[in-house]
Amino acid sequence: MELQHLAGYVLLAIALVVVAATVYAFVHAAMQRPDAFTAAGKLTKPVWLLIIGGAGFFAVLTSLSGVSVFALAICAVATGIYLVDVRPKILEIQGKSR
């Protein structure tokens, strides 16, 4: 019984981290110039906002009825692609890379 509670807490912690990263990615994408996305050779800004926002909404919606590992995985993949691939290119185009 104790192990089930521990697994539930671990899934809850993962869900909170994924949702927080998704909110960060959505806000970051919303604050960028629309032309930077196309200049970087990526999908347009509205498409990325739909992808990240939709994945986050799906993860939160399914998490309300219980933590869904599938929904968290979709959300984590969409957010991860944006943060690892798209975000650095956009910052580079805008001259904000480190």
Give CA–CA dist 24/9, Å, rounded.
23
Q: 38-75 pLDDT, tens per residue? A: 999 999 999 999 999 999 998 888 777 776 788 889 99
Domain boundaries, the chain: 2-93
* Average pLDDT score over residue span 75-96: 94
Q: What is the pLDDT of residue 9?
A: 87
Return the closest-CA partner of residue 72 out of 63, 81, 80, 64: 63
CA distances in angstroms from 42 to 27, 82, 83, listed in the order given: 18, 10, 13
Residues 8-47: pLDDT tens digits?
A: 888 888 888 999 999 999 999 999 999 999 999 999 999 9
